[in-house]
Structure 1
Amino acid sequence: MTTKRLTIQTASVGLNNPGIISAVAIVTAHSHTGGKDIQEIVLVEDTTLPKSELKSVIAALESIPEGFPGPISIQSSSRYLVLGYLQWRVRWALKGWKGTANRPLWERLCEVVGNRDVAFNFVRTRSTKESKAAVTLARKALIASSEAVHA
């Protein structure tokens, strides 16, 4: 399949913040012929929601070959992720990242985005079919990890 563009849909859920958080990135490759390939990236760890949101997008971007020629669209309900990348990171970088929460993750995100054609878009939770799928997958992973701990 020749991939024309990629979409990354993210979702994070947790019982407590900080606490056990499940973060998901669903990478969908759209072909010229209308076909789709889907890769699911699931992270479950004891962390905070902001860190999990950053880590899931970083993992998704790291899974995409460096020379991928098409556009990559990141769809997230995290204002922290979207506004952080689109607006705040420039100011943070100009200040030498001093005082930036989650600095290593923001710096890594900037590295993996690099010169790629990446768009960050805010979408309301469960407002699209893709967002609903990501939230469902994140909830299932959180329940599975909780059951494994209590088994």
Structure 2
Amino acid sequence: MTSPASTNKVTIYTDGGANPNPGPGGWAAILLPSDGQKPQELSGSEANVTNNQMELQAAIEALKALPGPHQIELHTDSQYLRRGVTEWLAGWQRNGWRSSNNQPLKNKTRWQQLNAEIQRHQISWHWTKGHAGNKWNERADKLARAAIQKAALPLDDAQSIHLFAAGAYSGKSKKGGWCATLRYKDAEKSLSGSVSPASANQMHLQAAIQGLSAIKKPLPIHIYTPSDYLKNGATRWVKQWQNNNWQTKTGKAVSNKDLWQKLSGLLQSYQVRWHVVGKENMPDALKQGKKIAGEIARMSE
């Protein structure tokens, strides 16, 4: 990296992600000049990318936005980005842009673009824990999420089964309700039930379990849920819990272990794509499922 010819200094926060991963993605960068000028916010989107690709793009775009050499403090919550630059990049270049085991380098073009931008600046790379209260990291995360193009749901995929999983919980009755709606081409089937005592998380799990249990054909499945807990558990946490003998990182027993074990077993049989939906893009079938689950949960109030 070359030393900057000027004394321009800037602090940068970047973030990026895809939802689902891979899928539509967004990136964002916030540039904070040292002279107290107004922060500059950048963001953008791409159609079919991964989390890592968007983390890289955020850094590329931030550096491209600087008109000349700068001294930069760059903060990212991506270890892939930070370690890639500070630990792996030089080796990839020496190896002809191939990995350490001589395999084609993933995201090669973006790494080359980033490397070209890095040469113009003097950069200190910092890892910042995501969602830990850092004002500018949180802002970059919000901008990146907002940039992601929301696909119309449910997806137009006639070759897959669409499962709409809804859960609800009543604090008064301590009772929960769940509803699972299955759709394949022109056929639709709804299942529902109650559990007492229960929690909201348990009801989201129960809806997915009951829906998957009712599927008889080995087809790809789209699961639509309003629950980050359900999606993150199924796609990220459950493998860690299994490897750790169903304990959390802190050594505590995993909550709802029996339900997670059932769900994990069912997921082994299918190719599943998860969709976490909010009010703004919630399919009608899921809205109706939430209504049914809520009515069931409130029946004993």
Matched, 1:131 2:132: no
Would you identify which runs of 4 or more consecutive aligned residues in structure 1 move more than 4 Å? none
SS in structure 1 at match of 2:67: coil
Matched residue type, 1:62? K
More relative contact order, 1 or 2 (CA 8 Å, 6+ apart): 1
SS in structure 1 at match of 2:138: helix
SS in structure 2 at match of 1:17: coil
What displacement does 1:115 show? 4.4
Q: How many residues align?
A: 141
Correspondent of 2:31 among 13, 27, 32: 27
Q: TM-score, normalised by structure 1?
A: 0.84
Question: Which residue of the partner structure matches residue 79 of structure 2?
Answer: 79
Question: Which residue of the partner structure matches residue 42 of structure 1?
Answer: 43
Question: Which residue of the partner structure matches residue 103 of structure 1?
Answer: 108
SS in structure 1 at match of 2:38: strand
**Residue deviations 1:115-140 (CA, integer Å, cap 9, x gap):** 41111110001331111111122222
Equivalent residue runs for 1:42-61 within 5 Å: 42-46=43-47, 47-61=49-63
What displacement does 1:6 show? 0.7
Matched residue type, 1:85? V
Q: Say if 2:12 and 2:30, in contact at 8 Å, map to a contact too.
A: yes
Correspondent of 1:121 among 97, 108, 126: 126
Q: Say if 2:12 and 2:31, in contact at 8 Å, map to a contact too.
A: yes
Cα separation, 2, equivalents of 1:72 and 1:17? 30
Q: Would you tell me which structure has more helix in proportion to its own residues?
A: 1
Cα separation, 2, equivalents of 1:122 and 1:133? 16
What displacement does 1:111 show? 0.8
Q: Say if 1:30 and 1:37, in contact at 8 Å, map to a contact too.
A: no
What displacement does 1:28 show? 1.2
Q: Say if 2:56 and 2:114, in contact at 8 Å, map to a contact too.
A: yes
Q: Say if 1:73 and 1:120, in contact at 8 Å, map to a contact too.
A: yes
Task: Give the direction of change, closer, same or farther, for the CA distance of 1:104–1:14 in structure 2 (3 Å limit).
Answer: closer
- Aligned CA RMSD, in angstroms, stands at 2.0
Question: Which residue of the partner structure matches residue 259 of structure 2?
Answer: none
Matched, 1:14 2:18: yes
Unaligned runs of 5+ in 2: 1-6, 99-103, 154-280, 282-301
SS in structure 1 at match of 2:34: strand
Q: Say if 2:15 and 2:54, in contact at 8 Å, map to a contact too.
A: no
Unaligned runs of 5+ in 1: none
Cα separation, 1, equivalents of 2:61 and 2:17? 17
Query: What is the aligned-residue identity percentage?
Result: 27
Q: TM-score, normalised by structure 2?
A: 0.44
In our comparison, the structure showing a higher alpha carbon Rg is 2
